[in-house]
Amino acid sequence: MSRPKLDFVTIDRLWRPSWAQQMIEMFDISNNGDLKPSQIKFIHRPDTTEPEKYTMALIRLICDVGFGATARNYPAQKQIWNANAAWVRYHVSIGKGLNYIELANLAGLYSKHVREDIDQLSH
């Protein structure tokens, strides 16, 4: 089975790999590389941008599945989040847990797959 595609231009516009890595590094610094579900919290400030909210939500989805939650299906009008949920289900083992390095690698892999899929759209 091939991996789920992330071929939405909106994803390319919203996903911020450098910001995701900064968030993940903050988890690593504050938790010595160990992640626990209770530590993955994001607080939306009034000035939080849509790309920041999107990036936080995707990191949260990866962590949720890694710590045992199932990636739910979204209504049809949420095609991007259905693609994200399928991608996470494909790449993250449910309930296995995650550490800093695994989370950073998943964020990098997501970035790579978004770029590959968007490049295919333009050809």
Q: Where are the domains of the chain?
A: 9-121
Which neighbouring-strand residues pair with 34?
99
Q: What is the pLDDT of residues 74-106, one digit of tens each?
A: 776 788 999 999 999 999 999 988 888 999 999
Tokens of 17: 């790999």
Q: Provide the pLDDT for residue 31.
A: 62
pLDDT digits (tens, 9 = 90+) for 104-113: 999 999 999 9
Q: Tell me the percentage of the chain whose pLDDT exceeds 70.
A: 89
Per-residue model confidence (pLDDT) at position 58: 92
How would you classify residue 116: left for phi > 0, otherwise alpha for psi between -120 and 50, otherwise beta?
Answer: alpha
pLDDT of residue 71: 78
Q: In whole angstroms, what is the distance from residue 3 CA to residue 67 CA?
A: 21
Distance (Å, whole) CA 45 – CA 37: 21
Q: What is the pTM of this model?
A: 0.79
Instruction: Quote the pLDDT of residue 76.
Output: 67
pLDDT tens by residue, 30-82: 666 667 766 677 777 899 899 999 998 899 889 888 888 887 777 767 889 99
Q: Are 13 and 118 in contact (CB under 8 A)?
A: no
What is the per-residue pLDDT for 44? Answer: 76
